[in-house]
Chain A
């Protein structure tokens, strides 16, 4: 019902916006109808209409006009299709939406690998290949940017810090409901013939392509809005909603990683919004930002875009670090080694992420003098990144390691990111990068970081928190099969890609020179193997959600707060606000307690002790 209202209001907004733009165009003497400017203007109104229709009006905005807000009465599964403000519902909404996007983009990847099995154009022509490749890249980037933060930053983070919800529950719902329009825009772009710029959308190509490209800009813009709103909410939540006694250095490392990610997102997402806006203006309003014939500068786009998109890589990978360290500690049953150094590593990456962007542009024709500083800053960012490995290795050492499925995924992240990180050192070196820029070496490198790191961690997190979210256990054996299948498939796909890149295969091509065929065939075989591993996951995921055995409150014996309450958690999370006494990593320390949840009556001395 909610969605119907949203769609209707969105459609009304679309028509109103289109009419308004056409009226303005007619008034200024231009032809009333011009597809791109009308569409772009109408999109803004459609977005507003959709949000109002989907619940902003009923539950939020009515009091602004002196009327009482509707009371929220939806129950059961329908809540997941409504403007629900419970952070747990929103977390699940995010998870399912982005998993859907992930599998769609994965199918595109399969198509691409099928096309690349042999020389020549087999099932896709270059035009179709470019569209499929661009959509695959765009959707996967969206998943990597938003899935983990949206799903687990929402579901788990408030519980971990002892809060009953996010700081702004309605804003939280708003940030989720901005996501469906992103999917709509991407679908529209696909139906209108796609776009041929890749996810980076470099101008001036992105200014010149068909109307599908406009929808890519609009989708990215909308996702940016959602990210900024969500990040703001997370930052305020962590600053203001922590339980008593939850000091900064008692926060679970996962909370730290999401917090730092949110700060990056809040600062830098504005720049991708700006990049998209400038392209949209060039397409629709006749401005000439990227048209050199009239004084524009094509490289301007790359600078603005990468000023966001390099920090965005950290937006994708920092939550993975948090999840990995969290699991390494709980499943080694040892305190997180060098906790403060790990936090320092996260903060160090955050601090340096704004001064490395031009390493994407070493061959772009930017000023030669800038190469050395950006080479140096990029190599130096490996130092704070190393702290994550320092912490992980120190924690594993002498532990009592339990090979649960989430732990396997965490170890997978460490292995894959090690390769992804080390190859990053190669790419930061200008003489090497000149050759490898825009080749499959780069493709392999960022897949090791984003898929091998970010997405492996996402799946680890799903296995880890599934019992808490659903109250049911996932099948352990199938989980292990999935992990090994995915791990082998992943490495079989992307290790040979490094070789392909070294041999001189450039990225984003449907066809290549004959000498590259055998390696490409190997990569495709690995890719199909990797693709099938997700069938096991899906089967396990769906079956377990419906019929899995009931989960105990704390199946992993972990010490963070979310495991000390029932599975699934009650609406208000905690019966009584918890009081935090120490960090959650006190394994092996006699008498160490993370938090008092107040079940049997809290003593006066505890209340006083917290003040200290």
Chain B
């Protein structure tokens, strides 16, 4: 394999290769379509997310599922095109080099257009649209002050002044505003079943809103928990409490019993 030592054989080979190009392209396109359809069906059949119990969870899960639909053809494209070349174009004993193809205007142009369009699409939806949806409905029915401390959560229902620790009680279908603060280091207020997360930063009050849509509690759904999601020291892993979503009247009764 000396430098530049290439005979005409490789050139004739190039020609045969180029002649076969349309056929190859059609084959690859067909395989790609087939694989993509199969993959999309598989992706659609799998339930990716755990228990979803809030309006916000639907927005987040829809965004995830849409991105899965969009990412699948990209993934299969690279795998099929690369895989096809890896199988068909492997070295077969002769010392010839491949055809000196340095560029292809059509391929590069298509690539540029497709990747740019895909990026912009992803930015607009689910990106911007999802964010707008999350920020819609800014009116809260219930305000709860959350205080994070190493390593526990404390809640204060702002209207009634009820303070609790441990389990977080919420009424179903009411818009809840959390005002989150921390007394020591950074924590993060995360409820997996609700798909909401906001850091508790000392010296600052952060907010996040949620509308619970399903009844449930930590006893039957592990995702119904307030979990600290930002490393805060030794007790970080165990810094979680349950979340219980109940009907409004049941919530009122609980609040009254708790001293509201």
Contact = CB atoms under 8 A, between A and B. Distances in A.
A–B touch (CB < 8 A): the answer is yes
Interface of A: 126-127, 130, 196-198, 202, 204-205, 208-209, 292-293, 296-299, 332-339, 341, 363-365, 368, 371-372, 375-376, 379-380, 382-383, 386, 389-390, 392-394, 396-403, 411, 414-415, 418-419, 422, 425-426, 428-432, 434-435, 437-439, 502-504, 506-516, 554, 557, 559, 585-594
A398 B17 contact: yes
B20 to A, nearest CB: 9
Interface residues of B, number: 88
Given A299-B201, A337-B103, A426-B67, 13 more contacts: A332-B89, A335-B100, A363-B197, A382-B115, A386-B115, A398-B99, A403-B90, A422-B75, A432-B60, A434-B195, A506-B227, A588-B99, A588-B100
Given A382-B115, A504-B192, A514 B222 contact: yes
A130 B222 CA distance: 24
B198 A363 contact: yes
B103 A364 contact: no
Interface in B43-92: 48-50, 56, 59-60, 63-64, 67, 71, 74-75, 78-79, 81-82, 85-86, 89-92
Contact of A196 (B91, B229, B233): B233
Given A126-B236, A399-B89, A557 B103 contact: no
Contacts of A333: 91, 96-98
Interface of B: 1, 3-4, 6, 10-11, 14, 17, 48-50, 56, 59-60, 63-64, 67, 71, 74-75, 78-79, 81-82, 85-86, 89-92, 94, 96-104, 107-108, 111-112, 115-116, 119, 122-123, 126-128, 130-131, 133-135, 184-186, 188, 190, 192, 195-199, 201-204, 206, 222-223, 225, 227-238
Q: Is the interface of B mostly helix, strand, loop or mixed?
A: mixed
A588 B60 contact: no
Contacts of A332: 89, 98
7 contacts: A298-B202, A333-B91, A386-B115, A402-B91, A422-B71, A508-B231, A512-B237
B101 A394 contact: yes
Contacts of B108: 338, 341, 390
Given A205-B185, A398-B98, A435-B197, A418 B78 contact: yes
A201 B46 CA distance: 37
A414 B206 CA distance: 40
A22 to B, nearest CB: 30
A130 B3 contact: no
Nearest to A511: B237
Contacts of A429: 63, 67, 122, 126-127, 130
A399 B98 contact: yes
Given A375-B123, A376-B123, A438 B229 contact: yes
Contacts of A411: 82, 86
Contact of A337 (B82, B101, B119): B101
B234 A126 contact: yes
A390 B119 contact: no
Contacts of B126: 429, 431-432
B63 A432 contact: yes
Contacts of A594: 3
Contact of B198 (A127, A338, A365, A503): A365
A338 B49 CA distance: 40
Given A365-B204, A376-B123, A396-B82, A401 B89 contact: yes
Contacts of A196: 231, 233-234
A509 B97 contact: no
A510 B86 contact: no
Given A398-B101, A437-B229, A438-B230, A515 B236 contact: no
Contacts of B203: 292-293, 296-298
A402 B96 CA distance: 12
A559 B223 CA distance: 57
